[in-house]
Amino acid sequence: MGISGVRMRNISVRDRLFSYPTVEDQLIRLDEDRATLAQAVPEIIKYFVSLVQMQPAYRLFLVDQEEQKTSVSVTAVENTASKTVIAEVYTEFYNWKLTGANCWRGKSVGRLDPDKICLTLHLDWDENEFIFFEAQHPDLSRFPWATEAAY
């Protein structure tokens, strides 16, 4: 008998509640856990896309290993579903304060619309290969160090 290595995660973003299976790091994944995680991928991607497209629509980026951001379409996100075995969504909400020359410190705050909505897509079961998407709120004042030229 094995204990499942999957737990349900509840997340509410932009007034949209969603529950999805995610990996419990302290437990071993069973074969049926892998099936549960993989089967949830299309719905997790659909949830992420729906959040990004709600008004105000978020700016969507593919983030590479060097943390360089490339603007992408929703189609680019949707096209990754068939290669993905685990998908995860999380958000970031911060108020930023300048603490030194080009040095910023963020304090977590609550807002209806997050600053960022992030989607991590794992392409293998060892979690060595992944694709990372970041959706940013269109109000650049939430990113005081940013300029339009940087994007």
Q: Mind spelling out the 3-state secondary structure of 24-59?
A: CCCCCCCHHHHHHHHHHHHHHHHHHHHHHHCCCCCE
pLDDT at site 149: 41
In a domain, 113, yes or no: yes
Exposure on the CB side of residue 59, measured as CA atoms within 13 A: 13
Q: b vs e for 41-54, b when ≥16 Cβ sit within 10 Å of the residue's Cβ?
A: beebbebbbebbee
In a domain, 134, yes or no: yes
* CB atoms closer than 10 angstroms to residue 18: 17
* Number of structural domains found in the chain: 1
pLDDT at site 57: 92
Tokens matching residue 28: 């071993």
User: Which is nearest to 16 in space by CA: 45, 54, 57, 42?
Assistant: 54
Q: Which helix (H) or strand (E) is 87 found in, with range? A: strand 86-92
> What whole-number distance in Å separates Cα of residue 150 and Cα of residue 147?
5
Residue found by looking up tokens 């807002």 in the block? 111
- CB-based contact 114:138 (threshold 8 Å): no
Tokens matching residue 113: 């619309």
User: Which is nearest to 50 in space by CA: 138, 121, 131, 117?
Assistant: 117
pLDDT at site 150: 42
In a domain, 1, yes or no: no
Per residue of the chain (151 residues), give pLDDT as tens.
Answer: 567 778 899 999 988 999 999 988 766 778 889 999 999 999 999 999 999 999 999 999 999 999 999 999 999 999 998 999 999 999 987 777 777 777 777 777 777 788 899 999 999 988 789 999 999 988 877 777 765 444 4
**In which domain, by residue range, is 14 found?**
6-150
pLDDT at site 2: 60
In a domain, 34, yes or no: yes
Q: Which helix (H) or strand (E) is 88 found in, with range? A: strand 86-92
pLDDT at site 151: 41
> What whole-number distance in Å separates Cα of residue 139 and Cα of residue 102?
20
pLDDT at site 26: 64
pLDDT at site 70: 96
In a domain, 126, yes or no: yes
